[in-house]
């Protein structure tokens, strides 16, 4: 991987984060549309909206830093490594299962939690990069926005990722309870003993 402190490579890195967040938003939106439990459905949609917001914020940073840079995904697997791989695995799993069962959805929550954890780690790395200072100074020159404001935006995204992990834990609990209620409500058919049948009047 190239040094992320190289300005052009850093612009590509921000671009990949923006694309990743957009893909994450689409993944959660798809899962929300397939979820029957109302609260779980809307919590998934909330994460989708947050991820879409992150994508837009990062896209704005990218365009302020290097508006002429390409927006393709060519080097994203190298730039983002683990988190890019996790996203692709999850996207393929969801795409290949057209109708998620509740049990599958519960298991999927653990994988999504791993994704959110990896995203959080990536943003912690992002906030420590030297070129974040360069980006902040450039945005200040263009728009008069103080460098600290850019750091606050990234820190806000990190808090969102932590909150998403908590939301996923709640969704998992909701889906588990929903599945248990479904099992408990399954009607049981009780038959009379054979002796009772033999004694029944003709």
Q: Among 59-73, 103-117, 137-151, which stretch is predicted with the lowest mean pLDDT?
A: 59-73
Convert the pLDDT of each residue in 11-34 to its tens digit. Answer: 889 999 999 999 999 999 999 998
pLDDT at 194 over 60: no
pLDDT for res 188: 44
Residue 79 located in a structural domain = yes
What total number of domains does the chain contain? 1
For 130, the token pair is 């030297």
Residue 148 lies in a domain: yes
Residue 2 inside a domain? The answer is no
* pLDDT reading at 180 higher than 50: yes
The answer to whether residue 1 sits within a structural domain is no
Whether 39 is covered by a domain: the verdict is yes
Residue 143 has pLDDT above 90, yes or no: no
pLDDT averaged over every residue in the chain:
83
* Global pTM value: 0.81
3-state SS of the chain is CCCCCCHHHHHHHHHHHHHHHHHHHHHHHHHHHHCCCHHHHHHHHHHHHHHHHHHHHHHHHHHHHCCCCCCCCCCHHHHHCHHHHHHHHHHHHHHCCCCCCHHHHHHHHHHHHHHHHHHHHHHHHHHCCCHHHHHHHHHHHHHCCCHHHHHHHHHHHHHHHHHHHHHHHHHHHHHHHHHHHHHHCCCCCCCCCHHHHHHCCC
Structure-token pair, residue 94 = 């969801």
Q: Residue 53 is part of which domain span?
A: 7-199
The beta-carbon contacts of 132-138 under 8 Å, at least 24 apart in sequence, are 134/7, 134/10, 134/65, 135/10, 135/14, 135/61, 135/64, 135/65, 138/64, 138/65
Does residue 116 lie in a domain region?
yes
In a domain, 194, yes or no: yes
Ramachandran bin of 144, using left for φ above 0, alpha for ψ from -120 to 50, beta for the remaining angles: left
Identify the band that residue 165 occupies on the pLDDT scale cut at 50, 70 and 90.
Answer: very high
């Amino acid at each position: 991987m190239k040094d992320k402190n190289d300005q052009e490579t850093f612009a590509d890195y921000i671009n990949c984060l923006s694309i990743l967040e957009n893909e994450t938003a689409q993944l959660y939106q798809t899962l929300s549309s397939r979820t029957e439990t109302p609260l779980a459905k809307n919590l998934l949609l909330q994460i989708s909206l947050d991820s879409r917001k992150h994508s837009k914020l990062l896209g704005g940073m990218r365009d302020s830093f290097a508006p002429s840079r390409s927006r393709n995904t060519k080097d994203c697997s190298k730039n983002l490594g683990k988190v890019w791989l996790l996203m692709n695995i999850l996207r393929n799993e969801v795409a290949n299962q057209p109708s998620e069962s509740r049990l599958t959805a519960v298991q999927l929550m653990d994988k999504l939690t791993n994704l959110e954890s990896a995203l959080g780690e990536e943003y912690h790395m992002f906030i420590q990069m030297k070129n974040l200072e360069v980006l902040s100074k450039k945005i200040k020159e263009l728009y008069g926005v103080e460098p600290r404001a850019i750091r606050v935006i990234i820190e806000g995204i990190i808090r969102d990722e932590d909150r998403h992990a908590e939301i996923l834990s709640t969704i998992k609990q909701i889906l588990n309870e929903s599945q248990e209620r479904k099992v408990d409500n399954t009607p049981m058919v009780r038959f009379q003993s054979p002796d009772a049948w033999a004694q029944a009047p003709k």
